[in-house]
Amino acid sequence: MNQTASPLVLSSKPHFEILDGLRGLAAVAVVIFHFMEIAVPDYTKSFIAHAYLAVDFFFCLSGFVIAYAYDKKLKTIGIPNFLKIRLIRLHPLVIIGSIIGILAFAFDPMSRLFDTYQSKSLWMFIASCLMIPYAVVHERYFNFFHLNPPTWSLFWEYVANLVYAFVLIRLKNKVLWFLIVLAAVLLGYEAFKSGNLSVGWGGDNFFGGGARVFFSFVAGILIYRSNWRISSRLGFAVMGTLLLITFLIPYSDKTNFIVDPLVVILFFPFLIALGAGTNPTKKSGWFCKFSGEISYPLYMVHYPFIWLFMSYVESKKPSMNEMIIVMVVGVILLMIFAYLVLILIDTPIRKKLKKKMDSSLITTSR
């Protein structure tokens, strides 16, 4: 029996299963939100209009998980290996999403938009794979990553990971507290300027994404380093309900600039701390695990199909009842598709890359 451990495996740490479940729930909410943006463009009439705040929840959770996983071992594995690990974890789905995006764009049977941008499609694909913002399709709101719009948040996630590795890991909590107060001010200003926090994805709101990740990622780090874990027996059903409530808050131009930063600054950090101290029941444990596993694939592969849904709505003018059927079936099929992408493509690719990385480390250490 081979007892040689991987150079990167220092000690196993338990997963926060409730947080895994919440991440999956938030990803499903994002998919529903994106469908609803097309079916009901008026946010005030959408029942889930605040699900764009799921991105802030993701950023906060990411800061917590990264600090939990790497604060004590980054010095051991080194910054280059940390960045390789993060690339292996995140980037295969960036490329997979880009491939699905270019195929959906090129072969959309209900839209001729590709003909207009065919000469730029190669650059769009390259930019999407390399996560270089390239806002060119004005018919679709100048998304920075038209082929797969959610890539905008991955762009900022990468920035946050780089800043963590080179700067944040070295800072004491007192400095982080100063930064988080500064970030809260910037976030509040962004909400006031834009009217809400649905920013960072395209047009002229690029730097709004920076304000969002700045606060939430640092908040996540502080939650871990301050050991803010609120023990409870609430279970996943209650925790999931608490998260969903934030997405179901009625949309109002008069209050969004206040509600959005309050949710992000106060409620999401509380929810992360509460989730970190809550254990699922045996019945909900499997769901939390499955939900956590498909959350990232679902987030990264769903949007090209939203563009297809948009083409369908624009060309066929379906009734609301027809759109509801398409949306319900669409969400279910996308969850199945995300799981298949996970087990058939993403996981095998990551395993091969991880094995290759570990082998190179063993070779260089001899």
* pLDDT (0 to 100) of residue 9: 41
Chain-wide mean pLDDT for the chain? 94
Supply the Cα-derived Rg of the chain in whole angstroms. 21
Contacts of 236 (CB under 8 A, 6+ apart): 18, 21, 280, 281, 284, 287, 288
**What's the pLDDT at 5?**
38
pLDDT, position 8: 43
pLDDT at 358: 82
- Report which DSSP code applies to 202: B
Global pTM value:
0.94
What pLDDT sits at residue 241? 98
Q: What type of residue sits at position 61? A: L
For the record, the structure tokens of 201 come out as: 């994805």
Question: What does the pLDDT look like over 272-327, one tens digit per residue?
Answer: 999 999 988 888 899 999 999 999 999 999 999 999 999 999 999 999 999 999 99
Cβ within 8 Å of residue 17, ≥6 positions away: 279, 280, 285, 288, 289, 292
What pLDDT, on the 0 to 100 scale, is given for residue 15? 79
Flag residues of the chain having pLDDT under 70.
1-13, 360-366
